[in-house]
Amino acid sequence: MTFFQIFSIDDFYQFEEQIFQLDKACFSDGVWDLDQWSKLFKHYHLNILVAQHKEKPVGFIVFSNIDKEVEILKIGVEKTSRNLSIGQQLIEKMIELLKKKKTRVIFLEVRSDNQSAVKLYSKCFFELVSRRKNYYRNPDCDALIYRLEI
């Protein structure tokens, strides 16, 4: 597995097509368009870490890095590559990179019915810190807030 990072909208343009394809391959809804990516890069110090296998992008993690705090906004692994620990490797690689910076804590929010994501965050030692009852609709479910100190 190899990894590369995208730090700015200018970098993003270079890999635009690959990111769109990857986003579509990972999420049945909630795929972001160029306008959304641009706004996120502008306002949230966005980072994208992409995992590649044999030079093909297979997964990505998107996180915002503001001072000492990081929020994971999205993590996805394409369907045919799931349950091979690529999600775990993405999180571990992100942590390795963040440890070289000022980051001390990572947050994320996830649907309580997303079993594979909940499993992934638990095995990466994230701690459940809060639950927002019925935060999500269609189908209704809670939002879980996880936190990891690094």
Ligand X SMILES: CC(C)(COP(=O)(O)OP(=O)(O)OC[C@H]1O[C@@H](n2cnc3c(N)ncnc32)[C@H](O)[C@@H]1OP(=O)(O)O)[C@@H](O)C(=O)NCCC(=O)NCCS
Are 86 and 1 in contact by the 8 Å Cβ rule? The answer is yes
Using the rule CB under 6 A, is 45 a contact of ligand X? Answer: no
Give 5 or 14: the residue with its C-beta nearer to ligand X: 5
Owner of token pair 């890095």: 65
Please report whether residue 106 would count as binding ligand X according to CB under 6 A. no
By CB under 6 A, residue 123 contacts ligand X: yes
Both tokens of 8, joined, read: 């700015």
Of 19, 86, 98, 106, the one binding ligand X (CB under 6 A) is 86
Stretch that binds ligand X, among 12-20, 63-71, 82-90, 142-150 (CB under 6 A): 82-90
Instruction: Report the distance separating Cα 23 and Cα 121, nearest Å.
Output: 20
Q: Count, in order, helices (H) and strands (E) of the chain.
A: 4, 7
The first and second tokens of residue 96, run together, are: 């390795």
Considering the complex, state which of residue 13 and residue 129 has its C-beta at the smaller distance from ligand X.
Answer: 129
Alpha-carbon distances of 134 from 29, 30, 121, rounded to whole Å: 19, 19, 20
Per CB under 6 A, 94 contacts ligand X: no
Q: Percentages helix, strand, coil for the chain, rounded to the nearest 5?
A: 35, 40, 25
- The span of 14-22, 97-105, 113-121, 129-137 binding ligand X (CB under 6 A) equals 113-121
SS3 41: helix
Q: How far is the CB of 95 from ligand X (least distance, A)?
A: 14
Q: Which of 70, 75, 106, 148 binds ligand X (CB under 6 A)?
A: 75
When asked if residue 120 is in the footprint of ligand X (CB under 6 A), the reply is yes
Binding site for ligand X (CB under 6 A): 26-27, 74-77, 82-88, 110, 114-117, 119-120, 123
